[in-house]
Structure 1
Amino acid sequence: MKKIITLAALAAVSATASAAGNLLVDGSFESIAQPAGTWNTYTSVPGWVVTKANGTATSTGLEIRDNIAGTAENGHNFVELDGYENDKITQSFATTIGKDYEISFWFADRAGVAPGSLGFLATVVSGSGVSATGFGAVGDNGAAWHLITMDFTAESASSVFSIKATGTSDGYGTSFDNFQAVAVPEPASLGLFAAGMAVLGFTARRRRVQ
């Protein structure tokens, strides 16, 4: 009986981990082989559509940096949405109508840049539902990465996330990294996960006592 309960707990943990998988392609831009300590602009980035901030004009390219003018929050690469002008990146991802999701990403001021050059607007569109959040300069001169989360309930089988620069279009802007879109576990799944972890802990304690 102990083995069956333990396997059930492991299955619960595995199912919850799968549900938390990132629905966005290349959210940390690691598919681009950018040499260490350098930067470049790319008009084609796996998973993302790159445009100017107005969303219609062709961009000169998304600026991807490998630990230069800052350090990546995740992996080696991170991006700035003002390589040569204010830009916008967009990605569609599959969603289930009525299910809750969370978008998260990290941003940081660029050191030595005027506050007016920094800022962004992030938007999620799902059917008729629209969720948006924006931010200007943090004022810490790029000392740390800051986390943003956006929660929404899907109203269509495909939802769209986009983020654009809103500061002065002067080639210097906010840095971004580690974009994720995940399905929020149902309450029942969370309960099963907690029960599974409790069983695993109880089994481990009994083994130590014996």
Structure 2
Amino acid sequence: MSTTLKSRIRLYATLASIAAFVGCGGASAKYDANVQGAVTIDGELAPGGSVTFTPVENGPTGVGTIASDGSYSLRIGQGDVSSPDRSEIPAGEYIVTAMITGPSPKDSAPEGAPPPSGPKLIADKYGSRETSDLKFEVKKGPNIIVLKLDGPWANPPAEEASDEDATPTAEEGVDDAAKPASADDAAEAAAAADAKVETTEPAGATPAEEAKP
């Protein structure tokens, strides 16, 4: 094999390696932002939990575990063997949801069963991307985002539809004219009828003589 051919083969191999490297870099170049910050509940640092950044458009979801001091940093669970959990996410618009609960009640689960979840410490709206009002624009480079959450007090009151409110009572459903008259009403009606008869009797009329036997 001539020296010229060997040189061309080496050149082609080098160019192929460079193209592969650039291609890999281009595929991961969109992961150009990282996010960290803190979570507060009614102004107090959250004691734990997790936050999730879901892109408005298609893309990977970033998840962060809230530390005991309220801090978090996002991970997307994608990477390579040396760094299996990368901290970069694509820049763009994200909707944030959160799950934060208190400690489980003691002795609340049978022996051998997993303990139940503790009480929710944040409003229900943060549990779904359809109801969460947390939306942020993540820009290229480092982003510091403080998540200010409301406590359960912000939940809307449950609709209490009682039978009394939903169904009218018997008296409410009957017209006044159709209600049975009371004894007093009957007496007043009889007196009014007698008065009407007296006023309509012809003047000067005398009672009819009793029939003689």
Using structure 1 for the length normalisation, give the TM-score. 0.27
Larger radius of gyration: 2
- Between Structure 1 and Structure 2, the one with more strand by share is 1
Normalized against structure 2, the TM-score is what? Answer: 0.26
